[in-house]
Amino acid sequence: MFESEIKSLRRLGVRKILLQLLAMGSSLAPMFVLWKGLGLLTNTESPVVVVLSGSMEPAFRRGDILFLTNPPNKPYRNGDITVYNVPGQNIPIFHRVVETHNEIEVQDGDQDGEEPLVKQRILTKGDNNPVDDIGLYRGLEWIERRHVIGKVRGFVPYVGYISIAINEFPRLRLLVFGGTALMALV
């Protein structure tokens, strides 16, 4: 099946294969720059995420793509839908804010004109869950602002199923990435 492609790769030689790989890398670089630029613009490390569970149904369903922002000087309010990471867990959780507490921190040497630091603590809950998220916080009583990745600003329904399918079915992942790499080389 792939014998003719392998023979054509051997005929190309090492130098041409390296040039093909360089061309493929240069076509991927703008996507990386776009992702990082979008992250800087929205003040979040992950400006786009895919919904992986049904905990927020009916507002969002599995496979929806969410667009996030993280305004630096605006506190989160009850009803906001946030995406957060709990320390020690690398899967983001997105749930609705159900309670907030703001504490003003007074620093030594505060001068007139400087805004005091506001420390915000947040309690969240999935719309489709019977209880709040304290059990997900891994020993924390509240989520702090530093745990929040962003606030949901918009979404596109169902498009994220492509990402879910690629992650859940290893053969499909191999087929998609292997086929893409083979097409780029040939």
Phi, psi of 157 (to 5 degrees): -75, 140
- Whose tokens are 């079915």? That residue is 169
95 catalytic per annotation: yes
Q: Place 74 in a pLDDT band, splitting at 50, 70 and 90.
A: confident
CATH code matching the domain that covers 48-161, chosen among 2.10.109.10, 3.40.50.150, 1.20.1440.230, 3.40.50.300 = 2.10.109.10
Distance of CA 7 to the CA centre of its chain: 40
pLDDT-derived band at 103, boundaries 50, 70, 90: confident
Give the confidence band of 69 by pLDDT, cuts at 50, 70, 90: very high
Given the residues 4, 53, 101, 133, select the one marked as catalytic: 133
What is the model's pLDDT at position 186?
Answer: 65
Q: What is the pTM of this model?
A: 0.73
If one compares 4 and 144, the residue with the highest pLDDT of the two is 144
Closest alpha carbon to 161 in 147, 148, 172, 153: 172
Domains of the chain, residue spans: 3-42+169-185, 48-161
Per residue in 109-156, pLDDT (tens digit) is: 555 666 666 789 999 999 999 999 998 998 888 999 889 999 999 999
Summarised one tens digit per residue, pLDDT across range 14-51 is: 777 788 788 878 878 898 899 999 999 999 999 999 99
Q: Answer yes or no: are the C-beta atoms of 90 and 46 closer than 8 Å.
A: no
- Which of the two residues, 7 and 148, has the higher pLDDT score? 148
Q: What is the mean pLDDT of residues 164-176?
A: 86
101 is catalytic: no
State how far the Cα of 149 lies from the Cα of 151, in Å rounded to an integer.
7
Residue 111 is predicted with a pLDDT of: 59
142 Cβ contact list (under 8 Å, min separation 6): 101, 121, 122, 123
Q: Nearest 5°: phi and psi at 150? A: 175, 180
Tell me which of 26, 46, 55, 163 is the catalytic residue.
55
Is residue 55 among the annotated active site residues? yes
